[in-house]
Every structure is written in C-alpha cells, then in structure tokens.
Amino acid sequence: MTSRPRPGGPRRRGRPRFYARRRVCAFCVDHVSEIDYKDLPRMRRYVSERARIEPRRKTGTCARHQRALTMAIKRARHLALIPFIQGQFRSEREAYA
C-alpha cells in the first residue's frame, strides 16, 4: 500500500506563520447600550466602499450588536444619511456647500 500525497501539499512542521487573534466587539468594549443611526462616523466604519454592510467575521462585532448595527445602518439609509449604492459618499463639507 502506497501513501497518496495530501491534496493541500506537504504538512508543515514547526511554528505557524501567524497567530489569528480573536477580534473583540468594539461596542461591547465601549459598553454601548444602544447603537445610534445618527452616529455617521461609526456607521461608515461598518459599511464597505461598495456601500455594503460588513460581515461579523470581518468587523469582529458580536451577534447582538451586529443585528443592532444592521438595523441602524438600514435606518440611516432610509433617511438618506448613508447611501444604498457605491460612489455616493460625500464629506460633510460637500454636503452643505
């Protein structure tokens, strides 16, 4: 019986290349009880360049705060504070100029 090569290549021995750190929820750390849809700088951190809501695995938010954040972003979109599509972000100076 011959051994077959592993599909992922040879097994690495020794130390791993990097250590994946567990991300912590920024809202839990700051003890935020309610996520406000009017807090635009914080909302923009959780929206991609294409105006899509970033997933939990990328931002590190917990499930409870991700649900509240999603609702806040949708409310801000409905009131035209955050765009629905890409390329619509404007700075506050441009908005009032």
What domains lie within the chain, and their CATH numbers? 41-96 (4.10.640.10)
Confidence band, pLDDT 50/70/90 cuts, at residue 15: confident
Following DSSP, what letter does each residue of the chain receive, concatenated? -PPPPPTT-SPP-SS-S---PPP--HHHHTT-SS--TT-HHHHHHTB-TTS-BPPHHHH---HHHHHHHHHHHHHHHHTTSS-SSTT----HHHHH-
Where residue 31 falls (left for φ over 0; alpha for ψ -120 to 50; beta otherwise) is: left
pLDDT at 54: 95
Q: What is the pTM of this model?
A: 0.68
The structure tokens listed for 17 are 């290349």
